[in-house]
Structure 1
Amino acid sequence: MRLLPTKSCVPGMRLAKAVFNEDGVILLGRHVELSQALIIRLGQLGVDFLYIEDPDTDDIDVNDPLSDETRRKALTEIRTHFGAFMEDSAKKKFSRAPALGKSFGNLMQMIIDDLKENQGALIMLMNMNVLNNYVYQHSLNVSIYTVMLGMAFGYTREELTVLGLGSLLHDIGKTKINWALLRKPGVLTPEEYKEIQTHTELGFKLLKDEPNMPLIAAHCAFQHHERIDGSGYPRGIKGAEIHEYAKWIAIADSYDAMTTHRAHREAMLPHQAMEILFTGAGTLYDQKKIAFFRDHVAIYPMGITVTLSTGEKGVVTDIHPAAPQRPVVRVLFNPAGERLAQPYEVDLTQKLTIMIDHVDAAAG
């Protein structure tokens, strides 16, 4: 399979992986043939990348770190609880949900169990083949990224549970923000941006007194937009004043925000997002945590089309956990753009003089 930007897909291509709706239910099955109308509609719905069948890469298989059952359960729980808070907000109510801590606590155990089975795997881009309800899917993605980082960092299961709850619920305060404002295309006014910033305090208020909810999880909601140099919000705290878990969540939150389709812009690819994160290392984000994150992210996801410094074009077929920036590339086109009759693979950990020049946004 090949990973292509949806806008680069053409009619007649077939899906190599199913497309899921916001509840984790299959909307378009594997092998479905794309029409122009489907391609346009998927793009409108925020699906920026699709896995497409390709005979030269049909042996590439990308596994989801969560089982279908866990993903459906997670998205259903998030939609149910977040939706209830949104309804209350529309009615000018600020009620609590006594079952919140227990429901999400049980869910977090399922997520940790699934991720334990994939322990050691690199963090892969998770916004392909999914219709995007940003708040719901983003919450789950950030939790997956953060728990995977926590596992690699050596946290205990108890610590992972608290970190996971904090990351899963870091944006729950947005359920108290006007939905139209959250989905507004274009630049926010200073007043609108200030209103959105209140989601950190609102999230803390929602979580701090919930039964079965660790207080640290509430502080994660409160602090995930604080920055090392004190330039964040809501309190402008810095350095050691920010909880360690909130520092991890800040990185995963920013990364997923950049690699997800938003109302005002298309999604970035991992290497583009990492470049931006690194510009903030030591000022916005903890420098050691950024380096750790980089070493555990698949900068070039499996199936992505890349052009090498030799001018050849190919598809990433394998990633070395110890060197994710130097994947194995199956060369499909020569420098003249002609398709090879016999594709071959180049392991960039062995060919140190060859670099990835750029990631292609076209089908090739």
Structure 2
Amino acid sequence: MVYNIKKFLVFLIMVVLLTNFLVMLWNKFQNVQWKYKPMIIYWPQPDKNLECYIYTDNDALMSVEDVSFMPKLKSIFFHETSCRGGVDSRQACAVESAARANPDWEVYLLFNAPVSDAMLKKSCLVKLLQYSNVRLARIHAASFSKGSAVQQIVRSKLLHSRHPVTHSADIMRMLTLHRWGGVYLDLDMLVVKSFDSLPQNWIAKSSPFDLATGAMRLSKDEVGQNWTEEIIHEILSTYDNTQWSGYGARATERVLRRRCPELHNATSGDCQGLSIYSSELFYPIGFSEAHLLVRGGPLKKINVEPYTYHIWNLVTKMFTIRPNSAYVQLASKLCPLIYGAYGDAFGV
């Protein structure tokens, strides 16, 4: 009887050890699998609920308020201001393109919502973190805006906005550039080449008539600080939570008109240390031509190589991306890890 009990215990121990070994192998296999083939998530459109801004549970990211979070002067910032807690293939492609084109810059993807450990390890974020210059961090909007002119907008008025995700993005980019200085890019902006040759402070037009804030650099120097401070105050003095587009490019354009009214209709120029570039360098495919990016055919011929292409997700999301489209050509070249991971599901 005693012999049988000992035999059973030995058998039980072997089963437990074998089970643990198999679990370890499975977890290892899973980690390898996600490293090469991340989980594909079909994200819904962001809603108007920003309750996630105050959530702290299940958040795997470092906070930008952490003392060790110290962006260097050559930094590129992207903001995800919805409550998704992750990014889609288009957004990830933009981040990868910036990291590849600017290997000596730090590229920051900043989230206003918690990002879970599972999302960090099994989504396309895995691919982005294969680049040594990509950093992810969490913004806690209330503390991030503390002491700024727009503090009350962030803490209360954003919650009642008709367009909270857009308004938050407009505000967060300016607060970020005012705090650290650097380049800000929209998450539908593909980067073609390095920003090293550009000056410390610049912005671009998206058409001969319209200033845009989807790609810009405002540094920590006196020029950049003066611009960001004035734009932030312009947002405060004109904020209306019913308007969609008044607080990004429009606010910046109003400041430009006050400072350099003679440049309002100019395609390029310099305004008190801020270089203004023409649309072909950053927005070579305009809003009215956006559908051409996804509907097939070669890239539009451009006289000079641009720094970026704006994909105009607001428009192009309405169309199916064709395999021979300009967007696919750009993505396969500029964000090969993300494009390769998604394959036919890229851009959906």
Task: State TM-score, norm by structure 2.
Answer: 0.34
Task: State TM-score, norm by structure 1.
Answer: 0.33
Higher Rg of the two aligned structures = 2
